[in-house]
């Protein structure tokens, strides 16, 4: 069988994390089986659907690497929906009903209702097994507000039928929609696709993930500086288990491994801290040049920027954090510090003595030394200071503060390595001049 899946977002808002995860699973299942992945923009809500939302949704899917093979816009299919509504009415499986408008008192409208046979409907869910509904309670339900204005259930069935969708993979909140859609399929003589309902993505409090829990759109995370590879890796493991302890997958590796029998039945918990860790792992895989380019990083001194990339990889979990570090605690590397005498001398009354001794040792350093090599030459002096005299902090604190002018900064050996011998010597001497 040729597999064809679809993701059908409504362009009434940004691309939600849950929709993105569903799109990923649809894409993975189709590609794993050599099939087709389609995107259908369900834009028939004429008030709330906006072109900019559709553009953002498509951009978000592309950013994740989920390139579609087919694109359909539901609003362009209204004539087809009307044609089949008229066919059902003509055949007697649906009828037009004159009813009082719910929005305008005293006004009547013509809605289209499906004649419900009131039978039990059973379908096999590829995640949850056999599910049965008694449709008698649904009555003759409305399938169109007017003959040219179909409701969601009818339009979805017609579009899936015409697009030849073989597998409908969607969130578990759509399970209750399935019996209505099966009755419509039977009225139209449409083939029944296979269904797979995915567990919802839940917040830590086990409620449905929403804006009150933080960012929920792909655009938010993209703007914050997350990598698409990390986002795919993270959401791909939400509600799916490969059957082993492996946690790192690229999109191509997911395609190779993905099957619906790995989808779990219980809700998947959204964990931002875990996402940050996953993102940092993928950031660290980048070369220094890729890191700078993908993070859109810039500074007044490109040579220093190159030198601080290892620091950024060690500390930053998003590119937004990396950019903040460059303009924040690492800005001292690009701007000469302004020192506070009280802070400079806060660890020892012998600050000047220690800085002079360290400056003498500094003369023995070479430009190509690593932070560890610089530490090997300077640290013995600091280790030799007794606890009564303040210990190693009596020397290392004023050295780091003299180099950075910040209470929080990288260690002094890293600072010297990045600043270079000449600039670091000038900064130490400047601190000594302040001390008199």
CATH 3.40.50.920 assigned to 341-435? no
Phi first, then psi: what are they for 295, rounded to 5°? -85, 0
Give me the residues paired with residue 146 across strands.
Answer: 149
What pTM was computed for the model? 0.90
Radius of gyration of the chain (CA): 31
d(CA 353, CA 351): 5
The predicted structure's pLDDT at residue 71 = 98
Query: What is the fold, at CATH topology level, of the domain defined by 1-68+199-285?
Result: Rossmann fold (3.40.50)
The predicted structure's pLDDT at residue 211 = 61
Q: Which of 62, 119, 208, 211 is catalytic?
A: 211
d(CA 132, CA 125): 10
The predicted structure's pLDDT at residue 215 = 62
Residues of the chain with CATH 1.10.10.350: 341-435
Q: Which stretches of the chain drop beneath a pLDDT of 50?
A: none
Closest C-alpha to 329, from 422, 395, 415, 398:
415
d(CA 342, CA 337): 15
d(CA 329, CA 409): 6
d(CA 387, CA 5): 69
Is 211 a known active-site residue?
yes
What does the pLDDT look like over 76-98, one tens digit per residue? 999 999 999 999 999 999 999 99
Per-residue HEC secondary structure of the chain comes to: CCCEEEECCCCCCCCEHHHHHHHHHHHHHHHHCCCEEEEEECCCCCCCCCHHHHHHHHHHHHHCCCCCCEEEEHHHHHHHHHHHHHHHHHHCCEEEEEEECCCCCCCEEEEEEECCCCCEEEEEECCCEEEEEEHHHHCCCEEEEECCEECHHHHHHHHHHHHCCCEEEEEHHHHHHHHHHHHHHHHHCCCCCEEEEECCEECCCCCECCHHHCCCEHHHHHHHCCCHHHHHHHHHCCCECCCCCCCCCCHHHHHHHCCHHHECCCCEECCHHHHHHHHHHHHHHCCHHHHHHHCCCCCCCHHHHHHHHHHHHHHCCCHHHHHHHHHCCCHHHCCCCCCCHHHHCCCCCCHHHHHHHHHHHHCCCCCCCCHHHHHHHHHHHHHCCCHHHCCCHHHHHHHHHHHHCCCCCCCHHHHHHHHCHHHHHHHHHHHHHHHC
What does the pLDDT look like over 19-41, one tens digit per residue? 999 999 999 999 999 999 999 99
Residues of the chain with CATH 3.40.50.620: 1-68+199-285
Between strands 70-73 and 36-41, the pairing is parallel
């Amino acid at each position: 069988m040729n597999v064809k899946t679809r993701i059908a977002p409504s362009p009434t808002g940004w691309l939600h994390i849950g929709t993105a995860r569903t799109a990923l699973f649809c894409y993975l299942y189709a590609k794993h089986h050599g099939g087709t992945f389609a995107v259908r923009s369900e834009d028939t809500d004429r008030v709330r659907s906006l072109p900019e939302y559709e553009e953002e949704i498509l951009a978000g899917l592309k950013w994740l690497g989920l390139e579609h093979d087919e694109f359909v816009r539901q609003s362009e299919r209204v004539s087809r929906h009307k044609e089949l509504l008229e066919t059902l009415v003509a055949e007697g499986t649906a009828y037009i009903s004159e009813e009082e408008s719910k929005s305008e008192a005293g006004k009547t409208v013509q809605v289209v209702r499906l004649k419900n046979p009131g039978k039990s409907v059973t379908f096999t869910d590829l995640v949850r097994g056999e599910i049965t509904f008694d449709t008698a309670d649904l009555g003759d339900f409305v399938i169109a507000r007017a003959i040219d204005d179909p409701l969601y259930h009818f339009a979805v069935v017609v579009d899936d039928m015409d697009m030849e969708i073989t597998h409908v993979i969607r969130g578990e909140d759509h399970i209750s929609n399935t019996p209505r859609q099966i009755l419509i399929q039977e009225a139209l003589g449409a083939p029944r696709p296979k269904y797979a309902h995915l567990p919802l993505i839940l917040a830590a409090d086990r409620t449905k993930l929403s804006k009150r829990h933080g960012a929920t759109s792909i655009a938010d995370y993209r703007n914050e500086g997350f990598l698409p590879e990390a986002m795919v890796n993270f959401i791909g493991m939400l509600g799916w288990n490969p059957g082993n302890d492996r946690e790192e997958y690229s999109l191509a590796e997911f395609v190779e491994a993905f099957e619906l029998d790995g989808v779990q039945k219980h809700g998947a918990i959204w964990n931002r801290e875990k996402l940050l860790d996953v993102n940092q792992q993928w950031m660290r895989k980048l070369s220094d040049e890729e890191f700078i380019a993908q993070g859109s990083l810039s500074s007044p001194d490109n040579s220093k920027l190159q030198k601080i990339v290892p620091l950024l990889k060690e500390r930053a979990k998003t590119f937004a954090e990396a950019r903040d570090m460059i303009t924040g605690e690492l800005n001292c590397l690009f701007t000469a510090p302004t020192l506070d005498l009280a802070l400079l001398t806060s660890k020892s009354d012998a600050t000047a003595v220690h800085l002079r001794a360290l400056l003498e040792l500094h003369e023995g350093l070479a430009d190509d030394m690593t932070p560890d090599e610089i530490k090997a030459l300077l640290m013995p002096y600091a280790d030799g200071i007794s606890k009564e005299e303040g210990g190693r902090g009596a020397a290392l604190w004023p050295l780091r503060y003299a180099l950075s002018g910040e209470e929080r900064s990288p260690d002094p050996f890293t600072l010297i390595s990045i600043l270079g011998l000449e600039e670091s010597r000038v900064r130490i001497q400047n601190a000594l001049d302040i001390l008199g």
